[in-house]
Structure 1
Amino acid sequence: MSVRYPASFLVVLVTMAFSGLCSRSAGQVAPREAKQWVMPRTPDGHPDLQGNWTNKTITPFERAEGQGPVFSWDQVATLEGRADARVQRGAQASDPSRPPPRAGRSTGGYNNVYIDRGDRVAIVHGEPRSSLLTHPSDGRRPPFTQTGEQRIADYRAFRRQFGTYDNPENRPLGERCIMSFGSSAGPPMIPNSFYNNNYT
């Protein structure tokens, strides 16, 4: 199998793409060049999806209020710089002589080895998108309908009749290794903050 890096990846409401790293110089950020990508196809003409894929990105699912659909390249430099700095901080060696955590404080569950949330903004048609959600046009998730609210209420009422650990069906699908944690398995395929963003 070969490794492919598509220019765009559309799953339900999520339009994503990944390109090369943003070229930076002191005090100047150059836009990334949009590369023409041709979808590979199988001998019978269907899209060839073999290979290794990832949907990790620091582009938020919803657009911030007041933000347009596209980031400026200065915004991209700031966001990706923060992501790079976070990775560097997480890669620092732990102090073996540090004191134990205070009583009642969490020690945490994962260190940086298990975190793969991405460090680049999603690029679609050469534009750094400010949200993965593209419909509605404001990039914001609309409220649930009355029918949707009722379905959620019915589901919660159904679960309340069981104890948390009464049977395996009460446990989350990710915990049961049926699907990955969060919604990275879809639909829609939304990146999470851990290591479940890669597919083969």
Structure 2
Amino acid sequence: MRRLVFGVVAAVAATLASSEGGLALTAEPRADEQAPAGIAKTWTLPRTADGKPDLQGTWTNATLTPLDRPGENTPLVMPKDQVAKREQEFRERVDRLAQDSDPNRPAPPKGGDGSTGAAGNVGGYNNFWIDPGDRVAMINGDYRTSLITYPDNGKVPPQTPEARQRSQQRAAAIKGRAPYDHPELRPLAERCLMSFGSNAGPPMLPNYFYNNNYTIVQTKDHVMILTEMVNDVRIIRLGATDHLPRHIRP
């Protein structure tokens, strides 16, 4: 399983559509994956029959690194001792939640226990089904405290006035209706047309829940990215010049 942090579509399309097929990648091993002393790790970029970088395979962007950087003055790079502590705490949590349930425990309260997360309501998943990722993301040899690197504070910037206006218009249009009262109001994920959250993109981001895997298949003219969540498929044409008119959005 290869690890992919984010920006799958942009990286694949930009890389494979270039005439030179250039791709600068650095394979930085983790501390627990270092080669024995005296043995150099070398890696050669695989290429397809037509010379393009071969990115085919199964990838994951599951990670413990949040999208938004926590706190107000948190640095971009996480020290290695904090990384080890964070990953160890996660492993201990998984082990704790994997313990056998008490067969003599009382029945849960009606409607669930009300806790946040997938197991808070009747029919919710317990931790057996959850696979958010078990490692802190590493980029160029540095462990990251957030996936967002710009703005410098690592946080999603506030909406523009135009975006706020669109949000207000959408809210006004559905006022007095529940999300499932009308077929046009049913969200794409609920209709299994697109993955939950932003797994299918753009941008392709982890959902910190499960099904954060992708399969990439290449041909000479196209790249196909299959998102595990809801099995959403994105097909990218390479080298196309007949783009959609500016007034039409995909």
- Select between 35-44 and 166-175 the one with higher mean Cα deviation: 35-44
Distance 2:176 2:182 in 1: 12
Matched with 2:167 is 152
Q: Could you tell me how far apart the structure 2 residues matched to 1:171 and 1:74 are? A: 45
Paired amino acid for 1:61: L
Change (3 A) 1:119 1:13: farther
Cα distance in 2 for residues equivalent to 1:6 and 1:121: 11
Whole-Å Cα distance in 2 between the matches of residues 179 and 39 of structure 1?
32
Closer, same or farther in 2 for the Cα pair 1:54/1:167, shift >3 Å?
Answer: same
Deviations 1:99-155 (A, max 9, x none): 112345436400122201011000011110111001112211111111111111112
Deviations 1:150-173 (A, max 9, x none): 111112222226443233332222
Corresponding residue for 1:90? 97
Max radius of gyration: which structure? Answer: 2
Using structure 2 for the length normalisation, give the TM-score: 0.64
1:50 aligned partner? 56
- Structure 2: 5+ residue runs without aligned partners? 12-25, 34-40, 114-119, 216-250
- Within 5 Å, give how 1:29-178 maps onto structure 2: 38-64=44-70, 65-106=72-113, 108=121, 109-160=124-175, 162-178=177-193
Q: Equivalents in 2 of 1:154, 1:18: separation in Å?
A: 47
- 1:19 to partner: Cα distance: 6.8
Give the counterpart of 1:23 among 11, 32, 35: 32
Instruction: Decide whether aligned partners of structure 1 residues 19 and 112 sit closer, same or farther in structure 2, where only a CA change above 3 A counts.
Output: farther
Q: Is the 8 A contact 1:13 1:135 kept in 2?
A: no
Distance (whole Å) between structure 1 residues aligned to residue 81 and residue 51 of structure 2: 41
Structure 1 residues 112 and 19: alpha-carbon distance in aligned structure 2, compared to 1, 3 A threshold: farther
Length-normalised TM-score, structure 1 = 0.78
Greater relative contact order (Cα 8 A, min sep 6): structure 1 or 2?
A: 1
Q: Are the equivalent residues in 2 in contact too, given 1:13–1:134 (CA < 8 A)? A: no
Instruction: Output the aligned Cα RMSD.
Output: 3.0
In structure 2, the CA distance between the partners of 1:39 and 1:173, relative to structure 1 (3 Å rule), is farther
Which residue of the partner structure matches residue 10 of structure 1? 7
Q: Number of paired residues?
A: 185
Which residue of structure 1 aligns with residue 207 of structure 2?
192
Any conservation in 1 of the 2:67–2:147 contact (CA below 8 Å)? Answer: yes
